[in-house]
Chain A
Amino acid sequence: MTIASLMLQNKWILELFYSFVICAICMIIVFKTNKIYKLSLHQGIRYFRNAFFFYGIAFVGRYLFGLFSDFSLDYIFVTQVFFEFFLVMAGFFLFYSLVWKRFEQKKTHYFSSLVNSRIIIFELMALIIAILDTSWRTYYFMFFSQILVFFCASIIAFFNYRTKDNKKHKFLKFYFVAMLLELVAWVLNYLVAACFHWRHIVLVDIGIINVIFFLSFLCGVIKLTKK
């Protein structure tokens, strides 16, 4: 029995395990960044924390929906809208954490970073993307939105790496590489849906890239929050 066939047989367990690992990583990142956000009240840290909070919710949802799955159409509709909404929002939050300074020059006091006049625009966009995808039984709206988000984020990360003191701030390089990896993962996601008919082995590769992406952030957060 080959590894590929073994993985195919245990696809369900593998997906649950994958969701569980991502959830655990996100929980640690949220916990660690929340501590320094509470102390500094820095908006960039707040949006960064929110990004991983939303990734965590998306994968917790997938994990739980996976555990109690029934295959009715309503159930699949709710699952996909839920997962896509939080996944797309997480991407938006990660991107916004890089550019928030350009939009929030004046001191703003938002009661909540999850429901306010700026974030509601992202939430509406994420909801529309999730509903369009689910209604048309596709993932393309999510793929295109995330490819665009991570393409822009990669450019900003590269710009940060080139302009800031990258010898002193070594994680800038890893951040740029992590953004590129996630961009590649989303492009592969699109290709596997459009050209490879959801071939399982490519999906496993995407899963591995995603785990590397989250692990690199986890390592960075743990290292940088260590006193």
Chain B
Amino acid sequence: MTTRKRERLDVIRDILQTVKENRQIKPTRLLYASNLSPQMFKEYINELMEKKFIKLDIEGKEGKEKKSFSLTLKGQNFLQEYKVIENFIENFGL
């Protein structure tokens, strides 16, 4: 069986899809689900937060904080448009 290296956009889609399915997901669980190295995971998460596709929710008191990621409206829009973007890139060979 041959496998294809995931493109950047595929990784972003996978992360967003996982966050969407879980509604709220802890960073460690998202790291396992994303199949990325911790270093790469951090880079992607920073990028997604910069783009405001996901947001980090912090609950609880100081020292006992619970962190989780959730999808923003922009992230939801991206998931909907992902097919269009993917199709565009493939058809124009970009």
Contacts and interface: CB of A to CB of B under 8 A. Distances in A.
A48 B85 contact: no
Given A41-B51, A42-B9, A225 B84 contact: yes
Contact of B91 (A98, A172, A227): A172
A164 B90 contact: yes
A24 B80 CA distance: 29
Contacts of B51: 41
Interface string B32-71: 0000000000010000000100000000000000000000
Task: Tell me the interface secondary structure of chain B in the complex.
Answer: helix
A40 B9 CA distance: 8
A42 B89 contact: yes
B77 A39 contact: yes
A175 B92 contact: yes
A45 B89 contact: yes
Contacts, number: 67
Contact of B93 (A40, A98, A225): A98
Given A36-B84, A40-B85, A227-B84, A171 B9 contact: no
Interface residues of A, number: 31
Given A39-B77, A41-B51, A42-B9, A169 B91 contact: yes
Contacts of B77: 39
A140 B53 CA distance: 48
A42 B91 contact: no
A160 interface: yes
B94 A39 contact: no
A36 B78 contact: no
A226 B43 CA distance: 31
Contact of B89 (A39, A44, A227): A44
B85 A160 contact: no
B37 to A, nearest CB: 15
Interface of B: 9, 43, 51, 77-78, 80-81, 84-85, 87-94
Interface of A: 33, 36, 39-42, 44-45, 47-48, 97-98, 100, 107, 156-157, 160, 164-165, 168-172, 175, 220-221, 224-227
